[in-house]
């Protein structure tokens, strides 16, 4: 996804104007944009694809009775296939904004599914929201899962608004920060779209900080919750700073790529938190409280 962000901010989406080949060949010509686009395709097809497929096969062979493992592993394969096909449609239709945004949204959904699979593989199945273990010291987590689920949804929504800004061609519509050309509510369409993303970040950002501070506040929080919440808080602050730097540095491609990468990292942390707070680690001595059917 980082490579996909680089492709996007460098305008290399049509570096290979055909699909799945590049200029009708297996290997691209030695041109800057073609190499960047091809590196993204190669990573997806030669590394990510086989890993996701292998994980799904392993899940069905060794854990076919465990729905909390088999289901996300299978969903990941479906998302991967959809992502590959959508990538082809994006290129063959010369990068329509809506399809590019959908491509990004599907990629982030795939990442979220893989993180969920990672967590439940180590920590047992998902539980009903509000369930607390009587044998652990984290009884205060009964309300935290709902906050973290909403936080993950908020981050995903923010990424969609950011992607829409790019798809609408409104990235450079506002050349000042934090206001847009000195206005909080600009009148032109592209500026309104750009400023809408900033306002959404402001509103949802305050909620995110509140939810994340619940994760690292208090002595009864497990270390994994504290660590993820603290990491997500730091990434959120960096993301805001990089967003401002994007404007101040005249939309430099490297800063825009960093902005996209930090958004992905924040999404990963919040999905991890939402999942971790709904699972028990393998050393929890109360298996009777588990509900495997809730996968």
Task: Reply yes or no on whether the pLDDT at 144 is more than 90.
Answer: no
Task: Reply yes or no on whether the pLDDT at 287 is more than 50.
Answer: no
Residues 6+ apart with CB under 8 A from 250: none
**Mean pLDDT along residues 180-207:** 92
Looking at per-residue confidence, does 285 or 278 come out higher? 278
Name the pTM for this structure: 0.85
**Mean pLDDT along residues 74-96:** 88
pLDDT at 218: 64
Task: Reply yes or no on whether the pLDDT at 78 is more than 90.
Answer: yes
Q: Report residue 108 as tokens.
A: 């982030």
**Mean pLDDT along residues 210-225:** 84
DSSP state of 141: G
Report how far apart, in Å, the C-alpha atoms of 164 and of each of 34, 100, 160, 203, 216 are.
25, 9, 6, 18, 32
Contact 174, 195 (CB under 8 A): yes
Q: Is the peptide bond before 99 cis (omega within 30 degrees of 0)?
A: no
DSSP state of 176: S
pLDDT in tens, 8-64: 888 888 888 888 888 988 888 999 999 999 999 999 989 999 999 999 999 999 998
Cα separation, 88 vs 19, in Å, equals 6
pLDDT at 128: 54
Domain boundaries, given as residue ranges, for the chain: 1-123, 126-295
């Amino acid at each position: 996804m980082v490579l996909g962000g680089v492709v996007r901010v460098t305008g290399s989406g049509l570096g290979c104007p055909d699909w799945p080949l590049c200029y009708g060949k297996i290997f691209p010509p030695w041109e800057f944009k073609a190499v960047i686009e091809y590196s993204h395709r190669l990573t997806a097809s030669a590394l990510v694809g086989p890993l996701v497929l292998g994980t799904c096969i392993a899940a069905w062979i060794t854990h076919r009775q465990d729905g909390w493992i088999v289901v996300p592993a299978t969903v990941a394969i479906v998302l991967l296939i959809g992502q590959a096909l959508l990538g082809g449609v994006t290129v063959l239709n010369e990068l329509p904004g809506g399809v590019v945004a959908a491509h990004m949204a599907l990629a982030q959904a795939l990442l979220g599914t893989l993180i969920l699979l990672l967590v439940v593989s180590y920590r047992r199945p998902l539980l009903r929201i509000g369930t607390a273990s009587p044998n652990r010291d984290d009884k205060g987590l009964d309300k935290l899962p709902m906050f973290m689920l909403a936080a993950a949804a908020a981050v995903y929504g923010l990424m969609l608004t950011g992607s829409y800004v790019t798809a609408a061609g409104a990235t450079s519509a506002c050349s000042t920060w934090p206001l847009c050309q000195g206005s909080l509510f600009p009148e032109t369409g592209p500026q309104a779209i750009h400023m809408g993303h900033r306002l959404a970040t402001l509103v949802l950002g305050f909620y995110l900080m509140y939810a994340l501070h619940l994760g690292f506040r208090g002595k009864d929080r497990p270390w994994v919750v504290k660590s993820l919440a603290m990491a997500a808080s730091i990434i959120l602050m960096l993301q805001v700073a990089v967003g401002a730097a994007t404007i101040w540095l005249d939309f430099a491609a490297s800063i825009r790529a960093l902005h996209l990468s930090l958004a992905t990292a924040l999404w990963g942390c919040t999905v991890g938190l939402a999942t971790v707070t709904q699972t028990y680690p393998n050393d929890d001595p109360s298996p009777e409280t588990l509900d495997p059917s809730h996968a």
